[in-house]
């Protein structure tokens, strides 16, 4: 492995503070959306967001992820049908009473029409091991690496001006079958992407305060 000098531009304190405030205010506007417009979106910006995601750090630089971009109506219909089958089981049999009580305020149910309505789906897969010439090689910190990359993706899509939903139907094995993924991949996240519908509603949330979430040990 070769090395090169880090390309790092140091910013002064004033610029850093302004950038941090701007980013904070922008990300505070990010909301999970379940009501999408069917209006088409420029796929190049989705591709650029995914290029941002794959720049994320990963254990031993293994990059244990695959991102699948879907706009095909037939494929989206298959995914919705399979997702709703699993969600019906979840809401009627699999979920505990406590879990359902926690979900009740959000008024969610097994209906996942957004899968077909959103113009684009991005499915994130984690590679539980690496296949190199049909030989297994270990991947490290897979969930952590894919989680960080997914966070990069959600932030990038929001900054671009698109709405997203982090959907995790349980279980998600149907995604591997519908999208014909290899045996070393497992579905991690299903992300509908698009513009929110006109008049889209989001719940009013009370977030924890900084002091409730952070412990500081300043000198």
Residue 13 lies in a domain: no
Residue 2 lies in a domain: no
Residue 5 lies in a domain: no
CA torsion 44-49-50-56 (nearest 10°) is 150
| Per-residue model confidence as pLDDT tens for the chain (219 residues) | 899 999 999 999 999 999 999 999 999 999 999 999 999 999 999 999 999 999 999 999 999 999 999 999 999 999 999 999 999 999 999 999 999 999 999 999 999 999 999 999 999 999 999 988 778 999 999 999 999 999 999 999 999 999 999 999 889 999 999 999 999 999 999 999 999 999 999 999 999 999 999 999 999
pTM of the model: 0.95
Residue 39 lies in a domain: yes
Q: The domain spanning residue 60 has which CATH number?
A: 3.40.109.10
Which strands sit side by side in the sheet containing 65-70, from one edge to the other?
A: 65-70, 120-127, 185-194, 163-164
Q: Is 116 exposed, middle or buried (0-12, 13-18, 19+ CB in 10 A)?
A: middle
Residue 91 lies in a domain: yes
Residue 86 lies in a domain: yes
Distance CA 88, CA 76 (A): 18
C-alpha torsion sign, points 28, 32, 38, 43: positive
CA torsion 74-49-159-188 (nearest 10°) is 60
- Give residue 57's domain range: 33-195
Report the number of distinct structural domains present in the chain.
1
The conformation of residue 106, written as its DSSP 8-state character, comes to G
Residue 125 lies in a domain: yes
Residue 121 lies in a domain: yes
């Amino acid at each position: 492995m070769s090395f090169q000098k880090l390309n790092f531009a140091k910013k002064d304190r004033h610029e850093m503070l302004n950038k941090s405030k701007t980013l904070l205010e922008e990300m505070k506007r990010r909301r999970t959306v379940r009501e999408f417009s069917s209006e088409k979106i420029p796929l190049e910006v989705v591709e650029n967001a995914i290029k941002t995601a794959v720049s994320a750090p990963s254990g031993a630089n293994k990059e244990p992820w695959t991102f699948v971009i879907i706009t095909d109506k037939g494929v989206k219909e298959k995914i919705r049908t399979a997702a709703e089958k699993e969600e019906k089981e979840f809401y009627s049999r699999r979920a505990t009473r406590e879990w359902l009580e926690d979900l009740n305020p959000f008024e969610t149910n097994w209906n996942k029409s957004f899968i077909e309505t959103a113009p684009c789906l991005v499915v994130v897969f984690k590679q539980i091991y690496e296949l190199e010439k049909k030989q297994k090689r270990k991947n490290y910190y897979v969930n952590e690496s894919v989680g960080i990359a997914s966070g990069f993706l959600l932030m990038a899509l929001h900054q671009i001006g698109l709405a997203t939903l982090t959907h995790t139907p349980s279980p998600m094995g149907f995604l591997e079958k519908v999208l014909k993924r290899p045996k070393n991949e497992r579905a991690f996240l299903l992300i509908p992407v698009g513009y929110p519908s006109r008049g889209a509603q989001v719940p009013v949330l009370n977030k924890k305060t900084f002091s409730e979430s952070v412990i500081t040990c300043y000198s």
